[in-house]
């Protein structure tokens, strides 16, 4: 009798573990059982939105459920990221993250989440170089001209960004450090509002995702000064890279991926990964994205996790070198 009583807690734990395993298996088998919400950390019109919208129909087809884009802009993308960290880990809430996700870990003194422990990587969908664009009123058409003007007029240049901690912000800080040019940073809540500010002549320039500024450049409303990739963009073959314009080592590419909350069942992550990769590689979707500057990828969860680890180190060094910090 004594032995039976002592074994009861063990038996209960065993049964509880088995029940949890069965529940997770059943959850994975029925996923998705309701519409999936994809959090977008910036307003409509930005580069994340321009990636999400073209693949929406294909993703819904793959999942057999509606996918709702939920825009939660603010705090350099950390607002939406915090929401995901608190979401139920069942795969029905995911987040599109940018390189800013890795930058914020070093840029902010305190975050309401752990950048790695609170999330499960699903897939890196695409990469995208930045475009250094400017209003026609900015008195420079090349990087050397911009540097010369900035040094001669230390209080004149301003640069917009899609928010504190965004790649567009840090690219400007790194450019300042590399060239010695003084520029005032003016953050906006997303690429869309920042581009509008450029069009209105409110700022001198912006390191923006090529997808959001390219339309305005081709329409003649903005001018392209340089691209930040290791090589020239096929969309703007005559526009030099910043590196070949006289700033050695200046190479910055943005990336876009999907995270789920930590604790999301592996089978659910696998289903999301398969659906996302098929959607982004759909011929029509891939063609549309390529036309706006994206390079379609679609990785395994493990590969995306490794990329985030690498990027955390890379951007920590970049943030320290730039001196940028947000309280």
Let me know whether 216 and 274 are in one domain: no
Q: Is residue 202 assigned to a domain? A: yes
Q: Is residue 4 assigned to a domain? A: no
315, 288 Cβ separation under 8 angstroms: no
CATH number at residue 32: 3.40.190.150
Give the C-alpha separation, 281 to 106, whole Å: 32
The total of structural domains in the chain comes to 2
Let me know whether 19 and 99 are in one domain: yes
Let me know whether 307 and 161 are in one domain: no
Tell how strand 184-187 and strand 158-161 pair up: parallel
pLDDT digits (tens, 9 = 90+) for 214-250: 999 999 999 999 999 989 999 999 999 999 999 999 9
Let me know whether 100 and 205 are in one domain: no
172, 159 Cβ separation under 8 angstroms: yes
CATH number at residue 198: 3.40.190.10
CB count, 10 Å around CB of 73?
22
Let me know whether 95 and 154 are in one domain: no
Q: Is residue 234 assigned to a domain? A: no
Q: Which residues of the chain have pLDDT under 50?
A: 1-5, 20
Let me know whether 307 and 317 are in one domain: yes
The pLDDT score that the predictor gives to residue 1 is 44
Let me know whether 29 and 68 are in one domain: yes
Q: Is residue 189 assigned to a domain? A: yes
The pLDDT score that the predictor gives to residue 163 is 83
Give the C-alpha separation, 193 to 195, whole Å: 6
Let me know whether 117 and 266 are in one domain: yes
pTM for this entry: 0.79
Q: Is residue 243 assigned to a domain? A: no
Q: Is residue 157 assigned to a domain? A: yes
pLDDT digits (tens, 9 = 90+) for 58-91: 999 999 999 999 999 988 899 999 999 999 999 9
Let me know whether 118 and 258 are in one domain: yes
In the listed set 177, 209, 227, which residue is the last one of a domain according to the structure?
227
Let me know whether 138 and 278 are in one domain: no
H/E/C letters for each residue in the chain? CHHHHHHHHHHHHHHHHHHHHHHHHHHHHHCCCCCEEEEECCCCCCHHHHHHHHHHHHHHHHHCCCEEEEECCCHHHHHHHHHHHHCCCCCCEEEEEECHHHHHHHHECCCCCCCCCCEEEEEEEEEEEEEEEECCCCCCCCHHHHHHHHHHCCCCCEEEECCCCCHHHHHHHHHHHHHCCCCEEEECCCHHHHHHHHHCCCCCEEEEEHHHHHHHHHCCCCEEEEECCCCCCCCCCCCCECCCCCCCCCCCEEEEEEEEECCCCHHHHHHHHHHHHHHHHCHHHHHHHHHCCCEECCCCHHHHHHHHHHHHHHHHHHHHHHCCCEC
Query: Domain span at residue 103?
Result: 10-127+254-322
Let me know whether 120 and 159 are in one domain: no
In the listed set 227, 262, 287, which residue is the last one of a domain according to the structure?
227
Let me know whether 122 and 156 are in one domain: no
- How far separated are the first and last CA of the chain, in Å rounded? 62
Q: Is residue 237 assigned to a domain? A: no
Q: Is residue 3 assigned to a domain? A: no
186, 160 Cβ separation under 8 angstroms: yes
């Amino acid at each position: 009798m004594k032995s039976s009583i002592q074994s009861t807690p063990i038996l209960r734990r065993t049964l509880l573990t088995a029940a949890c395993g069965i529940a997770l298996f059943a959850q994975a088998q029925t996923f998705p059982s309701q519409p999936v919400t994809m959090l977008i950390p910036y307003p409509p019109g930005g580069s994340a939105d321009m990636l999400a919208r073209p693949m929406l129909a294909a993703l819904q087809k793959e999942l057999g459920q509606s996918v709702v884009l939920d825009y939660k802009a603010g705090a350099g993308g950390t607002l939406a990221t915090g929401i995901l960290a608190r979401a139920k880990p069942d795969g029905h809430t995911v987040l599109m993250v940018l390189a800013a996700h890795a930058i914020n870990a070093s840029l902010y003194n305190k975050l309401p989440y752990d950048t790695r422990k609170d999330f499960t990587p699903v897939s890196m969908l695409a990469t995208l170089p930045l475009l250094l664009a400017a209003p026609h009123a900015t008195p420079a058409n090349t990087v050397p001209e911009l540097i010369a003007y900035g040094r001669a007029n230390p209080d004149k240049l301003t640069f917009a960004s899609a928010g504190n901690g965004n790649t567009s912000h840090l690219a400007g800080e790194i450019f300042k450090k590399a060239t010695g040019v003084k520029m005032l940073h003016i953050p906006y809540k997303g690429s869309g509002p920042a581009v509008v500010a450029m069009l209105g002549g409110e700022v001198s320039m912006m390191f923006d995702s090529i997808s959001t500024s390219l339309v305005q450049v081709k329409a003649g409303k903005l001018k392209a000064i340089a691209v930040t990739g290791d090589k020239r963009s096929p969309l703007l073959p005559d526009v030099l890279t910043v590196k070949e314009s006289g700033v050695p080592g200046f190479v910055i590419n943005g990336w876009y991926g999907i995270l789920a909350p930590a604790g999301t069942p592996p089978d659910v992550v696998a289903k999301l990964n398969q659906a996302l990769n098929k959607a982004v590689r759909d011929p029509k979707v891939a063609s549309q994205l390529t036309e706006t500057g994206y390079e379609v990828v679609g990785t395994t969860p493990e590969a995306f996790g490794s990329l985030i680890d690498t990027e955390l180190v890379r951007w920590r060094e970049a943030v320290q070198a730039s001196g940028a910090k947000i309280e």
